[in-house]
Amino acid sequence: MASSLAAEQDLLNKAIKQEKSASGGFSFFGGKQEKYEKAVEMYRTAANAYRVKLTSIDDPETISLAVSQGGSALESAARICTENLEEPLDAVNIYNEAFKLYHEVQPEKAAVMLEQAIQKQKQLGRWRPAATNTESLATHYQQVLGNNAKAIEAYKDTLKCYKQDPAPALENKITLALSDLQALEGDYRSAIEGYETAADKAQNNNLLAWNIKNYLFQAGICHLATGDMVATSRAFDEWRSKYAQFTSAREFQLLNDLKEAVEGGDQDQFADRLYQFDQMQKLNKWQTTVLLRIKEKIESQDEDFS
């Protein structure tokens, strides 16, 4: 097992030896900077060798070792770039490489690598690349690690980066992704705020105006999920005057029908209206998930009074 990585380990050992020679005393055979630069190059070469090796092995233990050793090599290279060569941009690129290497086998370590890259990008004022990386981090937390709380933090951080270097379309995309996740985590009011913000911005953008219906539909579902029918009615009334085009949409009619069912505690009416709508226009996974929660809440209230 270890012998199958002997060549790669040899490259890593040589890189370690090169770094030690750079950290030693005065040398007649080249300055420290050149030696550190060579060490970085050798560490990256070793990491690449491990990466290539991963394409030809299938033993889980060997794969884990190759990822660990290759990732360690990249971490060493990034450390030298930061501490000895004062090349933070190079360190960022190397941390991004380490993230990709660790991604599936050691996802927690992968997140740490991306966080290191983001921290340096912020220090350098490179807000747009930092935003791209924080979005990747959010996706990683959500899809790979299943940590929605961390994903929400990362999405919020992404929006902060876009405040420093505005990109309206990208910011809107993140706002919606954040709202979707907040709703799934039960933070419906924050989700509503995000959807309504997106709808407001779409009002003044011809390219986005057609999305208003979708944004308000999701916001309306979240309003119903809060269980606060007074606030829900108030919001729907505001939408009638503010978003006139939405009031004639099938989605708005459904929201009003569902509100009536919730207020009446009528789970059959709720289910029937959803079924009729779904026959004409399929609900997506997010919508189905949150609407099912509302239906279950009606059922539980009905059981309490039975």
pLDDT digits (tens, 9 = 90+) for 127-162: 999 999 999 999 999 999 999 999 999 999 999 999
- Judge whether residue 306 has pLDDT over 90: no
Q: What are the pLDDT digits (tens) for 111-131?
A: 999 999 999 999 999 999 999
Q: Which two tokens stand for residue 279?
A: 């026959």
The pLDDT value given to residue 276: 98
Q: What is the pLDDT of residue 207?
A: 84
> Over 80: is that where the pLDDT of 107 sits?
yes
| Confidence check: pLDDT of 176 > 80 | yes
Measured distance CA(18)–CA(21) in Å, rounded:
5
What is the mean predicted confidence (pLDDT) over 175-199?
Answer: 99
Q: Three-class SS string for 86-118? A: CCHHHHHHHHHHHHHHHCCCCHHHHHHHHHHHH
User: Using CB atoms within 10 A of its CB, is residue 130 exposed (0-12), middle (13-18) or buried (19+)?
Assistant: buried
- pLDDT for the residue 29: 55
Tell me the torsion sign for CA atoms 174, 180, 186, 190: positive
Written as one string, the DSSP assignment of the chain is -GGGGHHHHHHHHHHHHHHHHHTSS--SS--HHHHHHHHHHHHHHHHHHHHHHGGG---HHHHHHHHHHHHHHHHHHHHHHHHTS--HHHHHHHHHHHHHHHTTTSHHHHHHHHHHHHHHHHHTT-HHHHHHHHHHHHHIIIIIS--HHHHHHHHHHHHHHHHHS--HHHHHHHHHHHHHHHHHTT-HHHHHHHHHHHHHHHHT-TTTGGGHHHHHHHHHHHHHHHT-HHHHHHHHHHHHHH-GGGTTSHHHHHHHHHHHHHHHT-HHHHHHHHHHHHHHS---HHHHHHHHHHHHHHHHHHHHT-
Each residue of 33-91: pLDDT tens digit?
999 999 999 999 999 999 999 999 999 999 999 999 999 999 999 999 999 999 999 99
Position with higher pLDDT, 298 vs 304? 298
pLDDT tens column, 254-287: 999 999 999 999 999 999 999 999 999 999 999 9
Secondary structure (DSSP) of 146-201: --HHHHHHHHHHHHHHHHHS--HHHHHHHHHHHHHHHHHTT-HHHHHHHHHHHHHH
Determine the pLDDT at residue 271: 97
Would you state the pLDDT for residue 285? 97
Mean pLDDT rounded to a whole number for the chain: 96
Instruction: Report residue 25's pLDDT band, with 50, 70 and 90 as the boundaries.
Output: low
Whether the predicted pLDDT of 28 surpasses 70: no
Query: Contact, 165 vs 131, CB < 8 A?
Result: yes
What pLDDT score does 219 carry? 99
% pLDDT > 90, the chain: 92
Residue 146 burial (CB < 10 Å; 0-12/13-18/19+)? Answer: exposed
Q: What is the pLDDT of residue 304?
A: 59
- Quote the tokens at residue 205: 């953008």
Q: What's the pLDDT score for residue 26?
A: 56
Closest CA to 1 of 64, 44, 52, 43: 64
Nearest of 52, 56, 34 to residue 44 by alpha carbon: 52
